[in-house]
Amino acid sequence: MTQVATATITQAMITPFDVQKIREDFPILAQQVNGRPLVYLDNGASAQKPLSVIESMNRYYRTDNANVHRGAHTLGDRATADFEGAREKVRAFLNARESREIIWTKGTTEAINVVASGLAQSLQPGDEILVSHMEHHANIVPWQMAAERSGAVLKVIPLDERGQLLEGAFETLLSSRTKILAITYVSNVLGTINPVREMIAQAKAIGALTLVDAAQALPHFNVDVQQLNCDFLAFSSHKLFGPTGIGVLYGKANCLEALPPYQGGGEMIERVTFAKTTWNELPYKFEAGTPAIAEAVGLGAALDYLNALDRPAIELHEQNLLKRAQLLAREVPGMHLIGTAEQKVPVVSFKIEGLHPSDIGTLLDQQGIAIRTGHHCAMPLMDFFAVPGTARASFAFYNTQEEVEQLFTALQKIQRMCC
Amino acid sequence: MTQEQKALFVGNEFGASITTDEILETFSFLDDWEERYAYVIDLGKKLPPFPESEKIELNYVHGCQSQVWLIHYFDQDSGKMYLLIESDAMIVKGLAAVVLAAFNAKTPQELLAVDIEGIFNQMDLIRHISPTRGNGLRSMVKKVQGMARLHC
Ligand SMILES: Cc1ncc(COP(=O)(O)O)c(C=O)c1O
């Protein structure tokens, strides 16, 4: 057997995804919390950062830092190249047609606000904005504000008891009055993956604009905006293993052209006189003021990191984590899962009879396990399930089967303590 | 106020037979988190029942992840303030018991003189429960102190 052939065979026999090796890329994970090894299961709130992200920002500040697009000196050129290079990485990651379709924002929340406040100016009384009952407040409140300003009406797609969009409800609500469909790709509480591609096609057929909240989708699977054919898409860097303080609004060029600017100031203008100001071209029209440059660089590094991973292998690993959690949940008496959709990412919301979510969170923390408890910025969804809040374990690809087991061992311990 | 309710207030063991000193002493003997939390949860279970009819917005303590209610009764004759607290979360209820041991059945002046932060600091457990976690411990304390000021 030749050397090459041996190498191929060994390669094929390696487990498809070596999670222990991946964990070494995330320095924060190797620590003790309350005397126990940290088990970080709050990735839905914010994910941890690989060393390459941390180092990219460090390098940027050590070698290239200056303001962007101001010209005149070498550092400024480098900073601009880094910054625009990161924009190009986002374009490629989403498979957008042009990099001017990528607008930097503070995060998902700001991205949605840019669109909602812009569209509020053209919405008419009686126009309808369609959202779902599982939206994060970031995809509810900006639309409520737009509705209030314009006289438009917010319509809500109801859910079934598994936490999926109620079958047929979307089609019933969609009408010639629908001007915008604003829908989450993945629910932050339930993990439900919505059939956004089909919904977008239907919404487009009646001429509505479409916005996808991809904050919880991109950490788990790739999204191609051209395939999806959405008009707008929003996400946050910090949930995608990048730094806080930056996010993205993707918009089709013609949709962004038609949208009025969000904030006024430097960078977003073409020419300012006291008589009249004209807007800069895309994407700068939406980027008033000095942007988060180092953060853009960091996000670019996060995307490089993700691109180098085998995402199908990751998806399989994550689905295995989810399956294990769902299986173990059955063995905990009084534990109820909230959100049991057929298609879901590894997010497990639950309640345990006799225990308040905040008790669960505090007592897990004592055992080194970080989860989130509360309403998860989705109060209407809490009302739907008639709970004050849930406890939520949200997994990332660097979580292990052992950590899933530790979570459930810890939950059983809590039950013994309290009940 | 009915006689029955008055009896609930005045019969509260916390601040009477269950004192802060006793709690702090027991606490100092417990050396792992499990025992400490189990003890706090147990304290919460000893709280007198909270009247269902008083679970209204007026008595609600805001700023907690769990639901917390707080009512008081000022006894003109003795000049003492009696308190009842309720929560749907066990740990918060246990913390409420600690608060009551320190504050209940005291005159407003005595109550306001209590170094509650000092007590919390002596209980390692409570130091771990940061105010940002929304357990409402600080809101509870502020509300009680506010009530006491009204009777000064
Ligand atoms: C589905 C969803 N949309 C929007 C947001 C808001 O993201 P950010 O706070 O980063 O703007 C979140 C964050 O929790 C989310 O989960």
Name the residue in chain A with its Cα closest to that of B136: A358
Q: Which of B37, B88, B135 sits opposite A417 (nearest CB)?
A: B37
A85, pLDDT greater than 80:
yes
> How confident is residue B122, by pLDDT bands cut at 50, 70 and 90?
confident
Cα B30 to Cα B41: distance, rounded to the nearest angstrom: 14
Structural domains of chain A, ranges and CATH numbers in brackets = 3-30+310-418 (3.90.1150.10), 53-307 (3.40.640.10)
Chain B partners of A359 at a C-beta cutoff of 8 Å?
89-91
- For tokens 């209030």, what's the residue? A148
Those residues with Cβ within 8 angstroms of residue A157's Cβ, 6 or more apart along the chain or in another chain: A130, A131, A132, A133, A165, A166, A169, A170, A173, A183
The overall average pLDDT reported for chain A is: 94
Q: Convert A137-206 into a string of H (helix), E (strand) and C (coil).
A: HHHCHHHHHHHHHHCCEEEEECECCCCCECCCHHHHHCCCCEEEEEEECECCCCCEECCHHHHHHHHHHC
Q: Does residue B118 register a pLDDT over 70?
A: yes
Q: Pick from B25-34, B98-107, B113-122 the range whose average pLDDT is largest.
A: B98-107
Atom of ligand 1 nearest to the CA of A184: 1
Q: Which residues contact B63 (CB under 8 A, 6 or more apart)?
A: B134, B136, B138, B139
Closest Cα partner for A380 from A156, A134, A112, A161? A134
**Residue A13 confidence (pLDDT) above 90:** no
CA distances from B24 to A52, A314, B36, B131 (A): 48, 50, 11, 21
Most confident listed range (A334-343, B24-33, B85-94) = A334-343
Percentage of chain A beyond pLDDT 90 is: 90
Token digits for A273?
Answer: 């006189």
Going by their DSSP bridges, the two strands B68-75 and B80-87 should be labelled as antiparallel
Least trusted range by pLDDT, from A138-147, A180-189, A338-347, B135-144: B135-144
- Closest chain A residue by Cα to residue B134: A358
| Average pLDDT estimate for A396-414 | 97
- Shortest distance, CA A363 to any CA of chain B (angstroms): 8
What's the total number of domains in chain B?
1
Is the Cβ atom of A109 under 6 angstroms away from ligand 1? Answer: yes
Q: What is the DSSP string of B94-143?
A: HHHHHHHHHHTTB-HHHHHH--HHHHHHHSHHHHHS-GGG---HHHHHHH
Spell out where A276-321 has E strands: 277-279
| Residue showing tokens 């050396």 | B31
**pLDDT band per the 50, 70, 90 thresholds, residue A12:** very low
- Using the Cβ of B133 and the Cβ atoms of chain A, whether some distance falls under 8 Å is answered with yes
Verify whether the Cβ–Cβ distance A362 to B66 is below 8 Å.
no
Domain containing B12 equals 3-149
Q: How far is CA A361 from CA A377, A404, B1, B44, B136, in A?
A: 17, 15, 38, 18, 15
CA A317 – ligand 1 centroid, Å: 24
DSSP three-state, residue A267: coil
Establish whether residue A215 lines the binding site of ligand 1, counting it when its CB lies within 6 angstroms of any ligand atom. Answer: yes
Q: Between residues A352 and B33, which one has the greater pLDDT?
A: A352
Residues of A in contact with B89 (CB under 8 A): 356, 358-359
- A58-70 burial string, b = 16+ CB within 10 Å, else e? eebeeebbbbbbe
Task: Report the percent of chain A where pLDDT is more than 70.
Answer: 96
**Alpha-carbon distance A379 to A389, whole Å?**
8
Active site residue A377: yes
The residue-averaged pLDDT of A49-73 equals 95
Q: How confident is the model over A145-166, as pLDDT tens digits?
A: 999 999 999 999 999 999 999 9
Q: A332 with A313: CB under 8 angstroms?
A: no
Residues A120-151 as b/e (b if ≥16 CB within 10 A, e otherwise) read beebeeebbbbbbbbbbbbbbbbbeebbeebe
Q: Which of B30, B31, B32, B34 to mutate to test the interface with A (most CBs of A within 10 A)?
A: B34
pLDDT at A227 over 70: yes
Identify the CATH number of the domain in which residue B57 sits. 3.90.1010.10
CB contact under 8 A, B129 and A373: no
Interchain CB contact of B94 with A (< 8 Å)? no
CB < 8 Å to A373, chain B: 65
- pLDDT digits over B64-82, tens only? 788 899 999 999 999 999 9
Q: pLDDT tens digits, residue range A347-358?
A: 999 999 999 999
What local confidence, expressed as pLDDT, does residue B131 receive? Answer: 59
Confidence of residue A10 (pLDDT cuts 50, 70, 90): very low
Q: Rounded CA gap, A59 and A382, in Å?
A: 43
Long-range CB pairs of A313-318 (<8 Å, 24+ gap) are: A313/A16, A313/A17, A314/A17, A314/A397, A315/A220, A315/A221, A316/A16, A316/A17, A317/A16, A317/A17, A317/A19, A317/A397, A318/A220, A318/A345, A318/A346, A318/A395, A318/A396, A318/A397
Q: What is the mean pLDDT of residues A182-205?
A: 98
> Could you tell me the pLDDT band of residue A15, with boundaries at 50, 70 and 90?
low
Any chain B CB within 8 A of the CB of A357? yes
So what's the pLDDT on residue B132?
A: 59
d(CA B38, nearest CA chain A) in Å: 6
- Which two three-digit tokens encode residue B114? 């209590």
Rounded CA-CA distance A229/A211 in Å is 10
pLDDT tier at A61, thresholds 50, 70, 90 = very high
Query: What is the arithmetic mean of pLDDT over A87-104?
Result: 98
Q: How far apart are CA A115 and CA A183, in angstroms?
A: 13
Average pLDDT, chain B: 90
Dist. CA A29–CA A36, nearest whole Å: 12
A107 lines ligand 1 (CB under 6 A): yes
Residue A210 has pLDDT above 70, yes or no: yes
Whether the predicted pLDDT of A263 surpasses 90: yes
B11 touches chain A (CB under 8 A): no
ipTM of the complex: 0.90
Q: Which residues of B are catalytic?
A: 64
Q: Is A124's pLDDT higher than 80?
A: yes
**Which pLDDT score, from 0 to 100, does residue B146 have?**
95
pLDDT-derived band at A11 (thresholds 50, 70, 90) equals: very low
Task: Give the residue-averaged pLDDT of B126-140.
Answer: 69
Predicted confidence at residue B127, as pLDDT, reads 60
Q: Give residues with Cβ within 8 angstroms of A386, minimum separation 6.
A: none
pLDDT at B133: 61
Q: What is the pLDDT of residue A266?
A: 87
Q: CB–CB of A374 and B135 under 8 A?
A: no
Please check the confidence at residue A3 and state whether its pLDDT lies above 60. no
From CA A167, how far away is CA A344, in angstroms rounded? 16
